[in-house]
Amino acid sequence: MAKNTIAGNAALKRAYEKYAVDAAVTTPSLALINRDIDAIGKAQTHLAQLMVPYHLKAYAALNPDQQAVYRKLVAQSNPVPEPAVGGPTLEQRFGRLDANNDGYITWEEALPSRTSDFDKMDKNQDKRVTPDEFGGALPFASFDKNKDGAISKAEFLDVHHRMFMKFDADGDKRISPSEFATAQHAAGK
């Protein structure tokens, strides 16, 4: 395991170094930066997957008092984000998307919500979202793939589908509560 962990750390370091170089240019390429960020995410996920068995084994070796201290420290270092005042909690947002209540969200379950988001932004209902209508967290250009100055529903859904797959860390084509929390945290929610 140590060799794999060392290799995983080295891969993550290389991904961060490439990002730093690519981001330092005067006019960085958004496509290149997105690829760098994806590479960092993949390297982080791979390293985390390598480390989980080690951490579980180490945790199991702790006595109950030590486990309680460990849980307290983890809770302090990774606080659960508070919902916006009057806004739904993380669990409520997850529950709204988990249509069949199986504890996972598939793309098919998420699709109606993303479609509704597009329709709400498309104020004049012309099947295109312009920069004036756009209210997304990501840059407008990351959705406008054909660079025509407007986002089609297909472009909008394609980007969201790719993000869905990116946050599906274990590759099972469904989002678990922990993967959902990671995605929501990344989106600042």
Which of these CATH numbers, 1.10.600.10, 1.10.3720.10, 1.10.238.10, 1.10.1740.10, describes 90-186? Answer: 1.10.238.10
Check if the beta carbon of residue 109 is closer than 8 Å to that of residue 98.
yes
Position 112 scores a pLDDT of 95
Q: What is the pLDDT of residues 177-187, one digit of tens each?
A: 888 888 877 66
Position 76 scores a pLDDT of 65
Which helix (DSSP H) or strand (DSSP E) does residue 174 occupy? strand 174-175
d(CA 128, CA 149): 9
Q: Is the predicted pLDDT of residue 32 greater than 70, yes or no?
A: yes
- Rounded to 10 degrees, what is the CA torsion of 122, 126, 128, 133? -40
Check if the beta carbon of residue 183 is closer than 8 Å to that of residue 163.
yes
pLDDT band at 166 (very low <50, low <70, confident <90, very high): confident
Q: Is the predicted pLDDT of residue 103 greater than 60, yes or no?
A: yes
pLDDT band at 74 (very low <50, low <70, confident <90, very high): low
**More confidently predicted of 70 and 21:** 21
Q: Is the predicted pLDDT of residue 140 greater than 80, yes or no?
A: yes
d(CA 27, CA 79): 36
Residue 180 has, within 13 A of its CA and on its CB side, a CA count of 20
Cβ–Cβ contacts within 10 Å for residue 50, how many? 17
DSSP lists the bridge partners of residue 106 as 174
Q: Which long-range contacts (CB under 8 A, 24 or more apart) does 159-165 make?
A: 160/110, 160/114, 161/107, 164/107, 164/110, 165/107
- Amino acid found at 87: G
Counting Cβ atoms within 10 Å, is residue 143 exposed (0-12), middle (13-18) or buried (19+)?
Answer: buried
H helix and E strand count, the chain: 7, 4
pLDDT band at 78 (very low <50, low <70, confident <90, very high): low
